[in-house]
Amino acid sequence: MTPDVPLHLATALRRRGYLISPWPWRALAYLATTVPVAGLLSIGLLVVGAPLLAVVNAARQGSPVELPIVVFLTVGALLTLALAPVVSIAVAAVERVRLPLVDPRPLHRQRFAGLTERYTSAGAWREVGHTFLLGGLVPLAYWLLFLIALLDLTLIASPWLAGDADSVIVVWTTIDTARQAIPYAVLGVLGVPALVYLAGLLAAGQATVARRLLDGSADSTALREVARSRARLVDAYEAERRRIERDVHDGAQPRLTSLTLQLGLARLDVPDDSPAARPLAVAHEQAKGLMVTLRQIVQGIRPQHLTELGLAGAVRELAGAATIPVDVHADLGRALPEVVETTAYFVVSESLGNVARHAGATRAEVRLTGAAGRLVVEIEDDGCGDADPARGSGLTGLADRVAAVDGRLLLSSPAGGPTLVRVELPCPR
C-alpha cells in the first residue's frame, strides 16, 4: 500500500494488531448503523416478496393463483421499480456518511442533472442496486452472523446455564453440570477473536461493494470514450506512420540514391587537381551520410526486417546484433496485428539497449509468447539490477508506448539482479 492511501478496514484486517486496534469497534459501529437502514428496506421488500412466495408455493402445489394477488404483485413490482431511484437517493446519502467509519478514502459523488437522469443514468441504477442489496442480501448475512454470535455466547454462558435444575443443550450435547460445560465455555472464549474477524470481514465486504456501487468515478462511460479515442489516435498514428514510411522509402530514398550515384560518377570525370574536386568529394560524402541517416529514419519508423521476417525473425536479428549473447524463444502461434508487432519490437530493442548500456550483464534472454488473445514479451538479463524509471533508462517511454495499445509493462529489478521486463499486449482477433 502506498503512503498516500488512507488505511481502511480491508487492509487493517491483514495487520497483526487488528484485534487491539480501533478497527473492530469501527466495524461494529458500521454494522450496527446498517441494521436500521437494512431493516426498513427489508420490510418494504417483504411487502412485495411475501405475496410472491405465496404465488411460488401455489404454483409448486398446482393450485390456482388468485387474480387479486397477481394484480397486487404487478402493481407492487412496478411501484418498487418506479420509486427505487428516488428512495436510493436517501439510502446512498446515508451510506456516504457511514462509509468513513470503515473506509475513509474519498468517495466521488455523481451529480445528476434532474429527476429524469435518475431513471436513465447508470450511476443512479447502481445506487438502486445498492439499495436492493441492503434490503435483500445484507439482512440474511446479518442474521447468519447473529446466529453464530448467539451460539458462541451460549457456549461461554453454558457453565452458568447448567447450574439450573434443567438440562442444557449446547450445540449437539446435553449438559447437566457446570463442570461438563467448562470445555464448551473455553471453546466459546477462543472463538471470540474469530467472531471479531468474521464481523470485520462482513463489514469490509459490504463497504467494498458499497464503494464500487456509489463511487461516481465508477461510471465508465467517459473512460470507455477515452479508450475509444486513444484507439482511434493509435490507428491514425499507424496510418500516418505507414504513409511517411512509404513516401520516404519510395520517393525520397530512390532520389537520394540517384543523386549519390550521379555525384560519384561526376567525381570520376573531374581531375583530382581541379578546383571542383574537393567540393564535389565533400558533397558526395554528405550525400552518402544522408543516405545512412535516411535509412535509419525509415528503420526507426518500421524496421524493414520486421516487415520481411516477422516479429520472431526481427527479434533474432536484434539478438544477433547485441553486444552480449541473447537467447530468443518464440511461440507466437498466429499472425499478430501490425501495431502489436511494432510495439513489441521496439520494447525488445529498447530493453536490449538498456541491458547493453546500464546492466553490466553477460547474457540475456527474450521470450515471446502468444496465448489467450495476448502477446507476452519478456526480456531477462543477469546484470546488476536496480533499474529505476526515474533515472531516465527509457522505461517510462516504453510504458507509455505499451499503454497506447492498451497493454501493460511490469518490471522486476532487485538490487544485484536479475532484471525482468514483462510486457503484455492485447491481440484482438
What was the pLDDT predicted at 297?
A: 63
In sequence order, the 6+-apart residues with CB closer than 8 A to the CB of 95 are: 37, 130, 134, 210, 214
Cβ neighbours, 10 Å, residue 272: 8
What was the pLDDT predicted at 7?
A: 76
What was the pLDDT predicted at 3?
A: 38
What was the pLDDT predicted at 5?
A: 42
Averaged pLDDT in 10-residue chunks for the chain of 429 residues: 58 88 92 91 75 66 68 72 80 89 79 70 82 89 92 83 63 71 84 92 92 68 54 61 64 73 77 76 77 63 72 87 88 80 86 83 88 85 78 71 82 83 82
Within 175-276, residue ranges assigned H as helices are: 178-214, 221-247, 253-269
**Is the separation of the CB atoms in 262 and 282 below 8 Å?**
no
**Is the separation of the CB atoms in 204 and 13 below 8 Å?**
yes
What was the pLDDT predicted at 261?
A: 80
Q: How far apart are CA 220 and CA 223, in angstroms?
A: 5
Q: How far apart are CA 365 and CA 328, in angstroms?
A: 6
Q: How far apart are CA 173 and CA 170, in angstroms?
A: 5
In sequence order, the 6+-apart residues with CB closer than 8 A to the CB of 428 are: 337, 373
What was the pLDDT predicted at 16?
A: 86
Sorted by where each begins, the domain ranges of the chain are: 9-218, 222-301, 309-426
Q: How far apart are CA 292 and CA 286, in angstroms?
A: 10
**Is the separation of the CB atoms in 370 and 331 below 8 Å?**
yes
DSSP-assigned letter for residue 415: B
Is it true that the peptide bond before 275 is cis, omega within 30 degrees of 0?
A: no
**Is the separation of the CB atoms in 132 and 158 below 8 Å?**
no
What was the pLDDT predicted at 429?
A: 63
What was the pLDDT predicted at 311?
A: 85
Fold observed for domain 309-426 = Heat Shock Protein 90 (3.30.565)
pTM score of the predicted model: 0.51
